[in-house]
Structure 1
Amino acid sequence: MIKNIQVRVSLKEEGQEGILMLKAAQFLGIPETDFTLKVLRKSIDARKQTIYFNYKLAVYSEEEAPESSTYSFDYKDV
């Protein structure tokens, strides 16, 4: 089963290993070992003093995520 969710990660949490799995597990209420995920979109919310990363994730339970599940964030000059 595939479920699309959105999670929010602070700038401090961004550097932690496995933070997306932890946030997705907390959101869904299931153990981290019961699913795989794929990053569909990543955006930055810098409207306030605390900066957040917003992720849209595809969570795959009972099946594996596709092989092409790598996501690279393209930082553009502003």
Structure 2
Amino acid sequence: EYVDYYGSAGVQHIALNTSDIITSVSRMRERGLHFLQVPKSYYTDLRERLQHSKVNISEDLDTIEKLHILVDYDDNG
């Protein structure tokens, strides 16, 4: 389906398990990996949702936004 839609191969989605997402994404960018641009509204909404959640994000949210990292969680973390 991806190839039919985009006309060539590519990566649609990756999930990472890393102890340092900031460094991991920064290094991938340094090596030329391109990421989708995430709208500012995503991070505004994320900050609002996190205020009403028990989840604590240890990384700096401004850096997460700058690197266009998406955050996935549920109420159990």
Common fold by TM > 0.5: no
TM-score (norm 1): 0.19
Structure having the higher strand fraction is 1
Q: Which has the larger radius of gyration?
A: 2
TM-score (norm 2): 0.19
